[in-house]
Amino acid sequence: MVKSRLTFPQEKTKLFYLRRQILNWIEMDVLLKKVLSEVKPSKAEKTRLGKVAGKLLQRVNEVCKELDVYAHGMLVGSAARGTWLRSERDIDIFILFPERLSRKKLEEKGLAIARKVAGKVRKEQFAEHPYIKTRMGGFDVDLVPCYDVSNPAQIKSAVDRSPHHQRYISSRLTSELRDQVLLLKQFMMGTGVYGSDLKTQGFSGYLCELLTLQYGSFKRVIGAANHWELGEVIDPEKAYSIEGEARELFPKDPLIVIDPVDPGRNVAAALSLQNFATFVRASQDFLRKPDFRFFTPRKPRVLTPQEIRGLIKKRGTKIFSISFTTPDVVPDMLYPQLLKTKRALMAQLKDAGFRVLRSGIWANNKSVILLELSISKLPNVHARVGPPLQVDADDFVKKHLTSRRKLAGPFIDDDGRLLFEVERGYTEAKPILKWALTQRVAFGKHVARSISKGYMIHEGEEIIKLCKNKEFTKFLSEYLTLRLPWYR
């Protein structure tokens, strides 16, 4: 026994991996078939969507005539390409206007048409670009005015590329590729990285379609992502002769996918570093052991108040929550503002010498910023380090020598640095937090305004008071037991 183990360790591992690999491939094909059968819309569902979309288009064009506006409707997005997941039922209808129309007129006439089409059931969304949401035949419908630009590299409003995306993708997708897109979308959904909205900061549907076209199948996308590195460049139409050129254009983006209809645009611009890395890890784990749970993960368990109390205690950190009324803005404005505010608070705490271990944001009608500090109490004495040896220290010494907060110094420490020891003033994090919430420097605009009208700070176990809200309890439970979805 021992002898054979000593003689053939290499062969044994190789064989072991080869067998596992083959089993994986067989297993994977079975698995993917099963996933597809669950997420692919049925014939009846397709017909139904086709009918509703057709009716909507007809209505848009009618209303254009009625209002004597030179414009027409176009079905875009996943509904137009047959790449929508059964669970996601949305129809994107764009209303295309001639380029020469002013921006003001586009918004005015676009909204007038959309309002008339939507009727009473509607919600007006004013983010960067105004559009209208409505419901029809069980579908969520977006009615979006845009310019019918001939060159998508010269768009006049943020959404003008979509009709070009529509033409590009639909002329290239086959029915086999559509299935592959569905698998990729569901995998991204299951691993929590699907959606280019600014709350999720993940992969858009269009990005999934481009990746599928690029690599040819779901499996090959996953196989490629397995080796992706930061700053990965994908340039479907070879718009740039060298990869470095594309990378230089988007130096901070973890993934660069050059938009085939507009080389100046990174399709993955909204993707966060966290979601990029999550997808790469998910791909590695999936290839190692394909499993259904990558597509439909278990929901995190909702903890009881006692369990929450127990976990907060066990962590031994100091958790603060700052809660306030959610400002009345669209999600694509709210979440970036909450993140910005959270970052501002973290920076101030860090500057004051505290250390933030982890943090989070949550919102529905109330908004909450969670800050978990690993160092929340500091000694009163605080070292002030002078300039390096070759630099004149006169100003530094003068400044601190007369300070009322001086405890010791100047002196030279074991590392040769010139030091004063002064009193810190604030030794607890809470007053710093309160001070920062009064100053509101570098906060999101609407969030700052809401906080100025009032906020609450809870610390440690007190946070359980916020658990009267069930959705918050879910959020806090997930925070305390954080795990990648496919490990749940």
Q: Which residues bind ligand UTP (CB under 6 A)?
A: 76-78, 84, 88, 90, 92, 161-162, 165, 196, 204-206, 270
- Measured from the CB atom, is 195 or 409 closer to Mn ion? 195
Report the 10 Å Cβ neighbour count for 425.
11
Among Mn ion, ligand UTP, none, the one that 110 touches (CB under a kind-dependent 5 to 8 A) is: none
Residue 78 found at the interface with Mn ion (CB under 5 A): yes
Which CB, 260 or 409, lies closer to ligand UTP? 260
Element (H, E) at 167: helix 162-170
Rounded least distance, CB 220 to Mn ion, Å: 24
77 is a contact residue toward Mn ion (CB under 5 A): yes
Q: How far is the CB of 14 from ligand UTP (least distance, A)?
A: 42
Contacts with Mn ion: how many residues (CB under 5 A)? 4
CB of 336 to ligand UTP, least distance (A): 14
- Of these partners, Mn ion, ligand UTP, none, which one is at the site of residue 294 (CB under 5 to 8 Å by kind)? none
* Distances 50 to 56, 78, 90, 166 between C-alpha atoms, Å: 10, 12, 12, 16
Per-residue tokens: 434: 């309160």
The entry of Mn ion, ligand UTP, none near residue 443 (CB within 5 to 8 angstroms by kind) is: none
Closer by beta carbon to Mn ion, 27 or else 90: 90
The separation between the first and the last C-alpha atoms of the chain, rounded to the nearest angstrom, is 38
| Binding partner of 189, given Mn ion, ligand UTP, none, CB within 5-8 angstroms per partner class | none
- Separation of CA 440 from chain center: 25
Does residue 92 interact with Mn ion by CB under 5 A?
Answer: yes
Residue closest to Mn ion when measured from CB atoms: 77
What span, in angstroms and rounded, lies between the C-alpha atoms of 18 and 23? 9
To the nearest 10°, report the CA torsion of 414, 416, 421, 424: -100
Q: Which two tokens stand for residue 303?
A: 């903890």
Shortest reach from residue 173's CB to Mn ion, in Å: 15
CB 353 within 8 A of CB 384: no
Between 197 and 428, CB nearer to Mn ion: 197
Residue 473 contact partner, candidates Mn ion, ligand UTP, none, CB within 5 to 8 A by sort of partner? none
- Cite the DSSP H helix spans in 250-405: 273-288, 305-315, 331-351, 394-401
Sort residue 316 into left (φ over 0), alpha (ψ -120 to 50) or beta: left
Residue whose CB is less far from Mn ion, 187 or 472: 187
Show the tokens assigned to 55.
């009716």
Interface residues with Mn ion (CB under 5 A) are 77-78, 90, 92
